[in-house]
Structure 1
Amino acid sequence: MEMIVKPEGTKADDFEIAVANEIAEIAKKTKDLAQPLKSFKMAAAKEVSVAGDKKAIVVFVPYKLFKNFRLIQSRLTAELEKKFEGRPVVFVAQRTVLTKDYKRSHKFGGVRPHNHTVSAVQDAIIDDLVYPCECVGKHTSINGRSGKVIRVFLGPQGQQEVENKLDALSTIYKKLTNKNITFEFKN
């Protein structure tokens, strides 16, 4: 399928094909989304177990296409959640983490860019998960039982769209980064 971008030698699984087919169907049915979705590509799609038997869908979009995709993300998310019977759908940019010993070729010398560090990529994942809300603050606390817990404070913009998915977003972040996180709205 031309909507799925995979490295050479790897094939898309059945779930990724199902998500791509639903997006293509939305593009056919919705006139105003048809044009922007022509250039839409996805790198992968995963089904993540959230609470009990509930599942959420995480769609990875290539980083270079993600900025333009933000314009239609809210509407596409709402349409996909309808198609997948209310399961939370989240779009995350596919970013790369470079190791500490990363060296550029001699021609271009320099150090590893900050946006390719582990902490920068994980902070960007938080912003991707809570879109259209804004992350207005972050606090790390240490508990005796659960270790480090990151508390993220969200602004009021887009609260209605994200409010009912906060537990699912925490679980998705834990699966992607192996870090505990809680989301709260700043009053």
Structure 2
Amino acid sequence: MFSAQNKIKKDKNAETTECDEQVAQALFDLENTNQELKSELKDLYINQAVQMEISGNRKAVVIYVPFRLRKAFRKIHPRLVRELEKKFSGKDVIFVATRRITRPPKKGAAVQRPRNRTLTSVHEAMLEDVAYPAEIVGKRTRYRLDGSKIMKVYLDAKEKNNTEYKLETMMGVYRKLTGRDVTFEYPVEAK
């Protein structure tokens, strides 16, 4: 029979963690109880779930979904996040597609590395995943005198209601995933 274990598929030798099982059980419960999401959730599963502490009182659950299923998850993203945040009270939920970074080919190698497997491309795509459902409308990189750099990311103001409360969480999650400092802002509108 079907169970929550069908909602999680890990790599061959990887063990499931308690957080993985909690998220898989929550998805399974949503599939069985919520009629709106039942048909969409039927074929969806996750790769991994990680709980992160962002700041003193903020926590986030980062759910890794297979790259091929990211579009299906994006269709139901707002409803799914709302339901999962109810289940994991006090924690923000962020979906990120599982992507792989490959190292540059050696000199003289006949194979070329696909663009979407480069470090830069994967980090850019993660930034879009973390900021979703808001669209990124602009980016600025600020270089400080001490040599550090910080990226300012401007989000579309249309999704301000859905994303404003978790800007701090989005900054912390991106920092932990990539090691890069980023601030999310909404562009100032001229009147």
Q: Which amino acid aligns with 1:48?
A: M
Question: What is the rounded CA distance, in whole Å, between the counterparts of 2:162 and 2:113 in structure 1?
Answer: 36
Q: Aligned pair in 2 of structure 1 residues 102, 69: CA closer, same or farther (>3 Å)?
A: farther
Q: Which amino acid aligns with 1:34?
A: K
Given the two structures, how large is their TM-score scaled by the length of structure 2? 0.90
2:116 paired residue number:
115
1:38 to partner: Cα distance: 0.9
Q: Aligned pair in 2 of structure 1 residues 83, 154: CA closer, same or farther (>3 Å)?
A: same
1:181 paired residue number:
182
Alignment RMSD (CA, Å): 1.7
Which of 60, 69, 73 is the equivalent residue of 1:69? Answer: 73
1:10 to partner: Cα distance: 1.7
1:139 paired residue number:
140
Deviation string, structure 1 residues 47-96 (Cα, Å, up to 9, x no partner): 11012032111000010111122101111001001111131100000001
Query: What is the SS of the residue equivalent to 1:23?
Result: helix
Matched, 1:5 2:6: no
For residues 1-187 of structure 1, what are the structure 2 equivalents within 5 Å?
1-101=5-105, 110-144=111-145, 147-186=148-187, 187=189
1:131 to partner: Cα distance: 0.9
Given the two structures, how large is their TM-score scaled by the length of structure 1? 0.92
1:102 to partner: Cα distance: 6.7
1:157 to partner: Cα distance: 2.4
* Runs of 4+ residues over 4 Å off in structure 1: none
Unpaired runs of 5+ residues, structure 1, are none
Q: Identity across aligned pairs (percent)?
A: 33
- Contact kept, 8 Å, 2:105 with 2:112, in 1: the verdict is no
Q: Which amino acid aligns with 1:135?
A: I
1:32 to partner: Cα distance: 1.2
How many residues in Structure 1 have an aligned counterpart in Structure 2?
183
Once structures 1 and 2 are overlaid, which stretch shifts more, 177-186 or 154-163? 154-163
Deviation string, structure 1 residues 6-27 (Cα, Å, up to 9, x no partner): 1112221111101110111111
Unpaired runs of 5+ residues, structure 2, are none
